[in-house]
Amino acid sequence: MQVTAICRSEACAILDTGHIIHFALMLDIEQQETDDVSEAVVAVAPLPDGSWVVIDFSEFETVSVH
């Protein structure tokens, strides 16, 4: 299972399987836990199979949704 897209405003990611997973926690540049998505650089989320994924936001492009 791979993360194909993230939605920072909804604190979730979309997997290549179509599943939507929600961030369990986010970390800022100083590796401190944050609830502010604009400060977050990494998120951790549970996968449907019970394992966990670390999502590096720098691996994704920012796009505007109209």
pLDDT digits 0-9 by tens, 25-63: 999 999 999 999 889 999 999 999 999 999 999 998 888
Residue 66 in any domain: the answer is no
Instruction: Supply the range of the domain harboring residue 24.
Output: 3-59
Q: What is the pTM of this model?
A: 0.85
pLDDT reported for residue 65: 73
Quickly state the pLDDT bin for 15 (edges 50, 70, 90): very high
- Is 65 inside any structural domain? no
Separation in Å, CA 30 to CA 2, 39, 41, 42: 26, 10, 9, 11
Q: How far apart are CA 9 and CA 12, in angstroms?
A: 8
Residue 11 has pLDDT above 90, yes or no: yes
Tell me how far apart the alpha carbons of residues 52 and 38 are, in angstroms, rounded to a whole number.
Answer: 22
8 Å CB contact between 33 and 12: no
Q: Would you say residue 30 lies in a domain? A: yes
Task: Examine residue 51 and state whether it is found in any structural domain, yes or no.
Answer: yes
Domain count, the chain: 1
